[in-house]
Homo-oligomer: A and B are copies of this chain.
Amino acid sequence: MKRLLILTTAMTLGGTVAAQANADLQALIDDPNQWVIQTGDYANTRYSELDQINKDNVGDLQVAWTFSTGVLRGHEGSPLVIGDVMYVHTPFPNTVYALDLNEDGKVIWKYEPKQDPSVIPVMCCDTVNRGVAYADGKIILHQADTTVVALNAETGEVAWSVKNGDPAKGETNTATVLPVKDKVIVGISGGEFGVRGSVTAYNLADGSLAWRAYSMGPDADTLMDPENTTHLGKPVGVDSGTASWEGDQWEIGGGTTWGWYSYDADENLFYYGTGNPSTWNPAQRPGDNAWSMAIFARDVDTGMAKWVYQMTPHDEWDYDGINEMILTEQEVNGEARKLLTHFDRNGLAYTLDRVSGELLVAEKYDPTVNWTTGVDMDPASETYGRPAVVAEYSTEQNGEDTNSVGICPAALGTKDQQPAAYSPKTELFYVPTNHVCMDYEPFRVSYTAGQPYVGATLSMYPPADSHGGMGNFIAWDNIAGEIKWSLPEKFSVWSGALATAGDVVFYGTLEGYLKAVSAETGEELYKFKTPSGIIGNVMTYTHGGKQHVAILSGVGGWAGIGLAAGLTNPTDGLGAVGGYAALSDYTALGGVMTVFTLPD
| Interfacial residues, chain A to chain B (CB-CB below 8 A) | 60, 62-63, 65-70, 72, 97, 104-107, 110, 511, 513, 528-532, 553-554, 563, 584-594, 599
Contact = CB atoms under 8 A, between A and B. Distances in A.
Contacts of A553: 68
28 contacts: A62-B62, A62-B63, A63-B63, A63-B66, A63-B528, A65-B529, A66-B66, A66-B529, A66-B530, A66-B592, A67-B529, A67-B587, A68-B531, A68-B532, A68-B553, A68-B589, A68-B590, A70-B72, A72-B72, A97-B588, A104-B529, A106-B586, A107-B587, A590-B590, A590-B591, A590-B592, A592-B592, A599-B599
Contact of A66 (B72, B104, B531, B589): B531
Contacts of A107: 584-588
A589 B65 contact: no
A94 B62 CA distance: 31
Copies in the complex: 2
**Most interface-central of A66, A513, A554 (chain B CB within 10 A):** A66
Given A70-B563, A106-B511, A531-B592, 4 more contacts: A60-B599, A63-B528, A69-B590, A70-B590
A306 B60 CA distance: 57
Going nearest first, the 3 A-B pairs with the smallest beta carbon separation are A68-B590, A70-B588, A68-B531
A67 B167 CA distance: 35
Contacts of A105: 529
Contacts of A532: 68, 70
A98 to B, nearest CB: 11
Contact of A528 (B65, B97, B106, B110): B65
**Most interface-central of A66, A68, A593 (chain B CB within 10 A):** A68
A591 to B, nearest CB: 7
Nearest to A595: B529
A106 B584 CA distance: 9
A280 to B, nearest CB: 31
